[in-house]
Every structure is written in C-alpha cells, then in structure tokens.
Structure 1
Amino acid sequence: MPLDDNKKMGTGLLILGFVFLFMGVILFFDANLLALGDVLFLTGITMTIGARRTFVFFFKRKQLRGNLFFFGGILLVLVRWAFVGMILQVLGFLNLFGPFIPIAVAAMRTLPVIGDILALPVISPLVDRIAGSQQNTDRRPPV
C-alpha cells in the first residue's frame, strides 16, 4: 500500500521532530530546539495517522497519566524548564507508547544491519529487557 503525500510529510516531520529533540538534549537541553522538536513531532503524528485518530489516541481515559506527563512536559519546555520538562515527556512517552516498543524491536530485528547489531551477545539481553520480551535462555530441553 503506497503512502499518500500527507503520510510522507508526516513521517518526515516525525523524523525532523526526533532530530530536533535529540539536538536539544545534546546541546544541554536547549529549550528552543526542544520546543521546535515537540511541535514537529505532534504535527508529524497528526499528519501521519490523521487528526481524528491522533485526538482519540491522546485522549483515551486509560492513558490519562501518560497524557498529563507528556503534555505537561511540553508545557514545561515551553516555559523554559527544559530539563524537568524532558523528564516528564520521556515518562509520558514511555507510558503512551510503551505497548509499541516490543513491536518496534521485533520489526528492527528483521532488518539486515540493525538486526545483526541487536543480535550481538552484549546487546541482545539489554534489548530484550527494554522490549519486555521473555526469552528462554535455559538450553536444557523441557522435562
């Protein structure tokens, strides 16, 4: 299924949002870059999945804590409390998008280069722990 123009632009805005957020963190929590990254990220999500689905996703009753943390963090970044705001945003992001992490890790493991890196003995247990997957490391056959 080909992507339409809105989804292509939305994906580009999502990537730009992550780039600006990363640069804002690297440059000692620069509030301007973080705020720009937040705006690009939210705009990218809206363009990628649509305004209605974005609204429904962010305003589910069971995700109230994640929404409060995420949008509270954005508000704190906008009022120049960048460090505290980013901590709240990360907590909210993990709360909102946590169920998608195992799916993303499983998809990344199928990619040619990234999958090989994630399969390294040092990295694999760490990625398994982050993804929340329970792999049987016991090599004995079941009884």
Structure 2
Amino acid sequence: MISVSEWQKIGIGTMGFGIFFILFGILLYFDSVLLAFGNHKLKGTSFFLGGVIIVLLRWPLLGMALETYGFINLFRGFFPVAFGFLGSSIPFLGSLFQRLQGTSSMV
C-alpha cells in the first residue's frame, strides 16, 4: 500500500474537484441555451484576460485595474437585472436603490 500524507490527500481532493468542474463546464458549454448567453464581447474579454496575464507578470495593481474594467464591460448589461432582483427581494436594498436612482439624472 502506498503511504499518502495529509498534504497529498488535500492535493488529490483538490485535483478531483478541478477535474469534475472542468468536465462539468465542458458539458454545459454545449448546452444551446447557455450558448445563447455566450460571451462575444471582445473588448471586455481582452481587458480581463490581459489583466490576468499582467498579474501573472507581477504587476498586480495594474492587472487588477484592467480586470475590473474588463469585468464591468463584460457584465454591464447584467447589472440592472441583478440590482432589480436584489431590490425586489430585499426591502432595505430596494429603498436604497430607489433613492440612488432618483438622485441621478441623464440630462
């Protein structure tokens, strides 16, 4: 029998989770409904992945700034839906969002 240390058990478990989620993600990728929600926003994707690369090249502040800009560009259309759902589900946030919406004007 092979002796396995505690750290190796943690590593095997983490690797198992990773393999499961990769295979599950591949299966979900081919779902037609999820493909309709697919990401075709080149600007946001390039900024986000460029930020990841810059973080890996040891420029964390610049990389995180680029990732944040890319994230905002990618999910810009989803934010109103999420805020609307949170505002209707949680009473305190609903009144806060209505107050914030009333103060801004698009003139």
Q: TM-score, normalised by structure 2?
A: 0.56
CA apart distance, 1:50: 2.6
Mark the runs of 5 or more structure 1 residues left unpaired by the alignment: 1-39, 135-143
Q: 1:125 to 1:79 in 2, by over 3 A?
A: farther
Structure 2 counterpart of 1:75, from 36, 40, 53: 53
- Residue correspondences, number: 79
* Aligned sequence identity (%): 30
Q: Deviations over 1:60-99 (max 9, x none)?
A: 2xx1111110110111112221111111111111111100
CA apart distance, 1:125: 4.0
For 2:66, the aligned partner's letter is: L
Q: Deviations over 1:89-125 (max 9, x none)?
A: 11111111100000000000122xx3323413xx644
Tell me what 2:12 maps to.
Answer: none
Structure 1 counterpart of 2:80, from 91, 102, 124: 102
Distance in 2, Cα, partners of 1:107 & 1:91? 23
Tell me what 1:119 maps to.
Answer: 95
- What pairs with 1:1-143 in structure 2 (closer than 5 Å)? 47=25, 50-52=28-30, 53=34, 57-58=38-39, 60=40, 63-111=41-89, 114-120=90-96, 124-126=98-100, 128=101
What is the RMSD of the two structures over their aligned residues, measured on CA atoms? 3.4
Q: TM-score, normalised by structure 1?
A: 0.44
Q: 1:87 to 1:119 in 2, by over 3 A?
A: same
Mark the runs of 5 or more structure 2 residues left unpaired by the alignment: 1-17
